[in-house]
Structure 1
Amino acid sequence: MLIFFHFSLFTFHSVSGQELEDYQNRALQNNPEIQSLNSSIDIAEERINEANAFSDTEFGLGYFVSEPETRTGAQKFKVSVRQMLPWFGTVQSRKDYAGSMVGVEEVDLEIARRQLKLNVSQVYFDIYELEEKLEVLQQNIDLLEVYRTMALNSIEVGKASAVEVLRLKMRQNDLEEQMKIIRLQLKALNIRFNKLLNINDENMEVQDTLIIPMQESENIDLALHPELQRYDKFAESITNSEELNQQESAPKLGFGLDYVSVQERTDMDFSDNGKDIVMPMVSFSVPIFNKKYRSISRQNEIRQEQISFDRNAALNDMESRLSSALNERASARIKFETQSDNLSQARDAEELLLKQYETGTIDFDDVLDIQEIQLNIQMNLIEAVSSWFRQDAVVEYLTLNNQ
């Protein structure tokens, strides 16, 4: 019976990731930040249509208050229309620039999706840790109750004192206090988890047993990670911005048409009397003072250098985060293996105590010592498992190029 209390929790089985994956998918569907970023992509895509438009067509209407007289008659009013056209290729450059900004928004969305999945995983494993600790504490409280029964039996035969019974009860009270504190922590984590999923209060279900895999993924390619691709997309957008700047610094071509209504002369009869005037027009807009465009080119050049620096800094940070996660994951495995061995030793010590009880020579000071040692080992085992999975989630976030 005593052995059951100590080892039922640590008969680990293979974990199915489906439950965690379901929570992650719900978060991706419901999270308002993800929904906002999807809207940003829709807006960026609409800007491609915006870039495909020409400048406004100008219409003009003028009425001659003092009618100018011409040989063919007096001019009554004038109608004009103007349309400026960008230089050849400018519209396509605008579309390319707008399209590159869509790419930036898409990468931002992918980063947010990955980060959200990581946050869900981290909170999930934190909740797993607390729930497992609650189970271990309850098992130890039950175990202490068994020891207390043994102590009461020993009192009846004069081999134990009431003080030992009280000490066992006090130890039970301490464990119950820990359980109350953990329940408060668990409540806060459940609220956070619900907020990540953007759902109302819901009792989540956590995998009851996790196992550290024998082999670990070692895909350490950071080159295609979205956090780095984001800088590549920004660099591409600046290249397109510079191409657009060069196009907009070119002349603009305009076409137009003037129409002047002419009134017939009544005092004369001749050819083309009252003939209206139609005048096609072509115009050019030349940016003679182009300091603005030179400044934009210089700004784009500086931005490219800045992005290169930022990308290198981000790569260094990611490599540092990856190295830290790999080391902590390896440490968690070592801790788990060490504590598993310690638990086996504690089990042997417990069996010796049981044999002593059968001979009537049990020392309840040793009982409390072994119980406390085993509890610490069990807690360490739980922390090692949850720590391994938390760090593995970080490694997965940093190394998987396609999610």
Structure 2
Amino acid sequence: MKRIIYTLIGLLTFSVSNAQELEVLINEALNNNPVIQKFELQYRIASEKVNEVNTIPNTEFSVGYFVSEPETRTGAQRFKVSAKQMLPWFGTIASRENYVSALADAKYEDIVVAKRKLMASVAQSYYYLYANKAKQEVLSENIKLLETYETLALTSVEVGKASAVDVLRLQMRQNEMQQLKDVLSQQFLAEQTNFNKLLNRKNDTAVSVVDGLMMPSEDFEITTKNLALHPELLKYDKLYQSIEQSELLNQKESSPMIGFGLDYINISERPDMNFSDNGKDIVMPMVSVSIPIFNKKYKSQTKQNKLQQQEITAQKQERLNTLETLLSKAINERISTRISYETQTKNLKQAKDAENILIKSYETGTIDFNDVLDIQELQLKFQMNQIESVKTYYVQSTIINYLIQ
């Protein structure tokens, strides 16, 4: 589990000292998230069942009183006390323990899967928060840029080189950007609530994210063979083994049961006679055997176990196909985002060059504010797409980590 955390942390480039470390946040989520606690409690319950099955059938006691006392040679029978204990066939209890332990092992994989999913969810939510914050900063920068252009436009209006319409267009564009920023601010609060709930803390707890994430110069190595060892698939192996243990238990339970008992009959003395053993009580040890002659139940259970093993095998193959599809999609999506990032970087540089040309045009006394708005809109688009590409790259990386680490 630590390996996955370190891989996620290795993707981050921290730029400020007060940014909360992702590792600390993930560990907090693992310690506090109620979903993890739920699966851990379920595992503890499943493990405790080992003690539940480590028992033998109840000892039977019975007491009987002779209302009409039958006479024997040594006297009349007054009452009878019996005790009986049935014992399962040799190895039956051990088979029960093995079966329950196998079920507990399968339940443990639920904890591992839940922790992996939680770590991926925390990391992804963190990247969503980063992207939202970065977009707000970009909008703030562009609003300031438009304010600069507005000042230039007002100056141009005074000397008759621009119209008041140009100023209004620049102001309307600023209003649109402010609206986008306000919407992003609300979306940040919603995602922050989601993030805090993953850590099981108050909704309004402030979350500090990194100021900048860079596209890694190269992708980390992907070992697809590790997919076969994914806990979602290992759980099916554990369930298959539990069915094997269930069949062994079924075979043991289809064997006879042996019982041992003791009967005690109280005899009263015959007052009119004097002979040896007069009034002697009766003690009778007993041995019994319970044989499942009609064993259709156990034969049916054997068939059910075989069918369940086939079902588990099919389910495992189905899940493997799904995971392989998810992995392939994440890998290809990450490659696509790198291509998109590089394209947006080139476009952004060209937009900056166009912006510089417009500034120089103003110095020579001519500037077209329609071109200003067009270039600014393109620049904003490229910046937003660049941030989105970085976010998507890291989100897809968390999916890959979930599948192969």
Could you say which TM-score interval applies, normalised by the shorter chain? over 0.9
Partner letter of residue 382 of structure 2? I
Q: Quick one: which of 216, 232, 240 aligns to 1:227?
A: 232
Relative to 1, partners in 2 of residues 1:398 and 1:15: Cα closer, same or farther, differing over 3 Å?
A: farther
1:301 aligns with 2:317: no
The residue that corresponds to 1:140 in the other structure is 142
The residue that corresponds to 1:252 in the other structure is 257
After TM superposition, the structure 1 = structure 2 runs for residues 319-338 of structure 1, keeping only pairs within 5 Å, are 319-338=324-343
1:42 aligns with 2:44: yes
Partner letter of residue 312 of structure 1? Q
1:329 positional shift:
0.8
Partner secondary structure for residue 223 of structure 1: helix
Relative to 1, partners in 2 of residues 1:181 and 1:196: Cα closer, same or farther, differing over 3 Å?
A: same
After TM superposition, the structure 1 = structure 2 runs for residues 51-130 of structure 1, keeping only pairs within 5 Å, are 51-130=53-132
Q: Quick one: which of 188, 209, 213 aligns to 2:212?
A: 209
The residue that corresponds to 1:168 in the other structure is 170
The residue that corresponds to 2:8 in the other structure is none
Counterpart-to-counterpart distance in 2, 1:253 and 1:13: 67
Deviations 1:283-319 (A, max 9, x none): 0000000000000000000111111111111100000
2:109–2:234 contact (8 Å) kept in structure 1: yes
Counterpart-to-counterpart distance in 2, 1:65 and 1:214: 97
Deviations 1:192-241 (A, max 9, x none): 22222221121211222112222323122211101101110110000000
Counterpart-to-counterpart distance in 2, 1:362 and 1:13: 42
Counterpart-to-counterpart distance in 1, 2:155 and 2:48: 81
1:245 positional shift:
0.3
After TM superposition, the structure 1 = structure 2 runs for residues 324-403 of structure 1, keeping only pairs within 5 Å, are 324-400=329-405
> Percent sequence identity over matched residues?
53
Partner secondary structure for residue 60 of structure 1: strand
1:15–1:211 contact (8 Å) kept in structure 2: no
Q: Quick one: which of 142, 151, 154 aligns to 1:152?
A: 154
Q: For structure 1, which segment, 312-321 or 263-272, has the greater mean C-alpha deviation from structure 2 after superposition? A: 263-272
Partner letter of residue 85 of structure 1? L
How many residues of Structure 1 are paired with residues of Structure 2 in the alignment? Answer: 389
Counterpart-to-counterpart distance in 2, 1:214 and 1:65: 97
Partner letter of residue 40 of structure 1? Q
The residue that corresponds to 1:6 in the other structure is none
Structure 1 length-normalised TM: 0.93
Partner secondary structure for residue 229 of structure 2: coil
1:14 positional shift:
2.2
1:60–1:79 contact (8 Å) kept in structure 2: yes
Counterpart-to-counterpart distance in 2, 1:232 and 1:173: 59
Counterpart-to-counterpart distance in 1, 2:284 and 2:341: 90
2:20–2:209 contact (8 Å) kept in structure 1: no
What CA RMSD, in Å, does the superposition of the two structures yield over aligned residues? 1.6
The residue that corresponds to 1:197 in the other structure is 199
Structure 2 length-normalised TM: 0.93
The residue that corresponds to 2:7 in the other structure is none
Partner letter of residue 342 of structure 2? E
Partner secondary structure for residue 306 of structure 1: helix
Could you list the runs of 5+ residues in structure 1 that have no partner in the other structure? 1-11
1:151–1:160 contact (8 Å) kept in structure 2: yes
Counterpart-to-counterpart distance in 2, 1:269 and 1:215: 109
Counterpart-to-counterpart distance in 2, 1:213 and 1:349: 28
Partner letter of residue 304 of structure 1? Q
Partner secondary structure for residue 222 of structure 1: helix
